[in-house]
Homo-oligomer: A and B are copies of this chain.
Amino acid sequence: MIIKGNFIWAPELDRLEVREHAWLVTEGERIVGLYGQLPPEYAGQPVEDWGEAILIPGFNDMHIHAPQFPNRGIGYDVRLLEWLETYTFPLESRYRDLDFARRVWKRFLNRLWAVGTLRFSAFATIHKQAAWVLMELTEQAGLRGLVGKVNMDRNAPDSLREETEQSLADTEELICRSRAELKHVGFILTPRFVPSTTERLMDGLGQLGEKYDLPVQSHLSENPSEVDWVRQLHPDIPTYTQVYDTYGLLRRDKTIMAHGIYLSPGEKDILREKGVLLAHCPFSNSNVSSGIMPLRRDLEEGLRCCVASDVAGGHTAAMNRSVAGAAALSKLNWLSHPEQRHLKVTEAFHLATRASGAFFGKVGCFEPGFDFDALVLTPDPMDSLLERTPVERLEQFLYDGDDRHIAARYCGGARVERPFAL
């Protein structure tokens, strides 16, 4: 495939690459090269010419709750634990109904496709069948990523509290089935968070992680009451981070922890050493009044961080808006912590494309050997009135663009069309 356009990507936090009127050549899933002049060996082959449009890497959303998708924007005037009880758990308990689940999943995946989230790591619910259907539909949609059946065997309403051994058995069944039947969607171990998983369950999940060499996702240190609660539940373990570590749930370079707002220096040492990816969720953090993660400081201290939507603590699946929201939150943090320079919006863009894409391998850059994932952004009608640089057009899309500004999506080297007719 040969694609012509204006390419922008952010290979490093503080580096943006721009190639105007360039030719990108792919073979299968991967990029062969990006050229200012089309190399002679490709002459005469068909070219997809996107004209003045800009192409950016697809978004990778590393923390999103698929079952909460219908709850976007609802009930945010309480804080985390009350919000879970009042809004989240009642909705999640409905996913034992597979027909309901299937209808939500299709809308969810259509929406991710629309807003340019081509890869993701999603929480499903405790329900094995519903999680399986989400995995299958994601593969059918042509999107990629990880899906986890949630594990919860304590501090949950009856309708969502699992029997420990059954939870482990259901998890193992999904691990094996997805390995056998799916190509582009993998299973990720998904203990909800420490307060809702017993020691036996965490231990069993840690063993499954070891046995199948699996990635893990969970929540860490989102809210002060949650942190206190974990301390009460595990008085013998000094920190929240160490609870996960004790049970083998910080798997090296394979673990995503959402939030991480209230971390001690010792916890950061462990997270850095294990290569844990912290998913910063700016909208969720303000919506349920969790707090502001010291993102710049964490990055300077060598932690791996990315930007994620956290639907439905976050109110939108649109990652461009989460990127702009991360820059905004970082500026507000800077006002009260002037020693922590705020993030530029293009740095937040790196965190939602390449920093997150690295969890999947060579994803998130327009460089040889990388998977070809891209969004084609159409020019704003104002662009005919004003001269705009590609970077200005990227900034405008990040702040005020929506799915109508995305003309096409490519994932793993193939164009992806709207997945489901509803």
Contact = CB atoms under 8 A, between A and B. Distances in A.
Nearest to A396: B73
A287 interface: yes
A332 B292 CA distance: 8
Contacts of A334: 289
Interface in A63-89: 69-70, 72-77
A57 to B, nearest CB: 19
Interface stretch (A137-145, A202-210, A397-405): A397-405
A381 B107 contact: yes
Nearest to A388: B74
Contacts of A398: 73
A248 to B, nearest CB: 34
A404 B57 CA distance: 26
Contacts of A76: 327, 345, 395, 399
Contact of A385 (B70, B331, B396): B70
A421 interface: no
A344 interface: yes
Contacts of A386: 70, 91
A288 B73 CA distance: 25
Size range of the chain A interface in the assembly? 35 or more
A180 interface: no
Contacts of A401: 73
A382 B70 contact: yes
Of A72, A107, A332, A401, most buried by chain B (CB within 10 Å of CB) is: A332
Interface string A288-315: 0101100000000000000000000001
A397 B73 CA distance: 8
A100 B283 CA distance: 37
A290 to B, nearest CB: 8
Given A73-B324, A396-B72, A103 B331 contact: no
A1 interface: no
A336 interface: yes
In the complex, the count of this chain's copies comes to: 2
A310 to B, nearest CB: 13
A221 to B, nearest CB: 15
Contacts of A345: 76-77
Contacts of A381: 107, 422
Nearest to A334: B289
A402 B115 CA distance: 13
Nearest to A286: B328
A329 B287 CA distance: 9
Nearest to A288: B331
Nearest to A402: B402
A396 B74 contact: yes
18 contacts: A72-B396, A73-B324, A73-B395, A73-B396, A73-B397, A73-B399, A76-B345, A76-B395, A77-B342, A77-B344, A107-B382, A286-B331, A289-B331, A291-B335, A315-B400, A316-B399, A381-B422, A402-B402
Closest 7 CB pairs between A and B?
A: A73-B399, A315-B399, A286-B328, A73-B396, A70-B382, A289-B331, A77-B344
